[in-house]
């Protein structure tokens, strides 16, 4: 209720009460206090306390009305200050704005934290809940693993994705759990988990999840086998190399690194089968023949091929026939 309306209604109420009481009893009553006495009509004695309470109520309303007025003015001034602060923060300027109300205190702190120039990274937020959120976000950005379940974030949320990537880096074998839950490699998390699986997982786990492997991933597995990091038999080696995405260079690399790891018969058997279905494996097969000193077989293949093909092996064969024992690796990559 507005102050003016309250005053009018109060006066009307006081007058009506006085008239009503006076109409019922017009007698006078005397109030004595020590040596003082005061004689007034009964109606006056009834109206006076009501009037006093009305005056106090009006004073109370006026006081709080003034407070509200001052508060509104402070908010208006703080709004202008906040706009200036936001402008300075986003322009990368130093700012020291002081707000009169608490209303803009937390927003100003959040605005500083959101500075694109990272000038206020260490500032604290007075609101405990928001401060906790800010600390969690910073921790995730710094590579730490945080519990985000209470936020119920969607799986395409950037914070959720980064936290999952942190888990893949920090928690041993977490990549196996992630790969289990994905039907296909279609996002950053699943691709990272598959990469960790190829580089760190056992061959049993790698086989268990039937995602198609790239040529680069196959070579990583071959290198891990050569370094005794995973176990594979000859059939499994053939299966992963019997892949349409393997390039000539990757077949060549596999032949070079497997030469000292497999027995001659096993190595020969794998690349003989590969060259039958993959043209890009023919050069690697020639390398295996050359390293196994099967020179007649190499000569036969070269004689039955076009003169411009396999120039590096023609040079190696020429040098070998002329008494120069040059390692095949010198001309074969």
Residue-range domains of the chain with CATH: 1-100 (no CATH), 212-333 (1.25.40)
* Band of pLDDT at residue 323, cut at 50, 70 and 90: low
pLDDT in tens, 289-313: 888 888 888 888 888 888 778 777 7
* Band of pLDDT at residue 26, cut at 50, 70 and 90: confident
pLDDT value of residue 201:
92
β partners of residue 33: 36
Percent of the chain with pLDDT over 90: 42
Could you tell me how far CA 107 lies from the centroid of its own chain? 23
**HSE of 248 in the Cβ direction (CA atoms, 13 Å)?**
9
What CA–CA distance (Å, rounded) separates 7 from 2?
A: 9
Residues 6+ apart with CB under 8 A from 136: 146, 148
pLDDT in tens, 179-209: 888 766 668 898 899 999 999 999 999 988 8
Cβ atoms of 62 and 7 within 8 Å: the answer is: no
Q: Tell me what the pLDDT averaged over the chain comes to.
A: 87
What CA–CA distance (Å, rounded) separates 145 from 165?
A: 9
What global pTM score does this model have?
Answer: 0.73
pLDDT in tens, 72-117: 898 999 999 999 999 999 888 888 888 888 888 889 888 988 888 8
How many CB atoms are located within 10 Å of the residue 130 CB?
Answer: 15
* Band of pLDDT at residue 326, cut at 50, 70 and 90: low
């Amino acid at each position: 209720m507005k102050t003016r309306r309250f005053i009018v209604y109060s006066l009307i109420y006081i007058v009506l009460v006085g008239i009503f009481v006076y109409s019922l009893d017009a007698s006078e009553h005397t109030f004595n206090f020590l040596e003082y006495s005061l004689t007034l009509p009964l109606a006056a004695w009834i109206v006076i306390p009501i009037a006093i309470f009305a005056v106090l109520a009006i004073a109370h309303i006026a006081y709080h009305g003034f407070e509200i007025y001052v508060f509104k003015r402070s908010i208006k001034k703080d709004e202008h200050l906040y706009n200036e602060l936001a402008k300075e923060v986003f322009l990368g300027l130093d700012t020291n704005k002081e707000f009169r109300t608490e209303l803009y205190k937390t927003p100003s702190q959040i605005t500083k934290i959101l500075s694109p120039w990272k000038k206020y990274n260490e500032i604290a937020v007075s609101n405990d809940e928001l401060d906790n959120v800010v600390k969690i976000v910073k921790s995730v950005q710094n590579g730490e693993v945080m519990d985000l379940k209470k936020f119920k974030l969607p799986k395409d949320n950037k914070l959720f994705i980064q936290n999952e990537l942190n888990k893949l880096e920090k928690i041993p074998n977490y990549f196996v759990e992630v790969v289990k839950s994905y039907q296909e490699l279609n996002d950053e998390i699943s691709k990272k988990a598959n990469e960790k699986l190829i580089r760190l997982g056992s061959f049993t786990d790698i086989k268990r999840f039937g995602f198609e492997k790239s040529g680069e991933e196959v070579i990583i597995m071959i290198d891990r086998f050569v370094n005794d990091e995973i176990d594979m038999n000859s059939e499994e080696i053939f299966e992963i190399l019997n892949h349409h995405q393997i390039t000539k260079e990757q077949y060549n690399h596999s032949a070079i690194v497997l030469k000292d790891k497999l027995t001659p018969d096993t190595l020969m058997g794998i690349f003989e089968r590969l060259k039958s279905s993959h043209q890009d494996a023919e050069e690697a097969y020639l390398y295996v023949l050359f390293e196994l000193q099967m020179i007649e077989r190499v000569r036969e293949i070269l004689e039955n091929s076009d003169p411009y093909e396999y120039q590096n092996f023609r040079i190696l064969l020429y040098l070998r026939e002329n008494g120069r024992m040059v390692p095949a690796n010198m001309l074969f990559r």
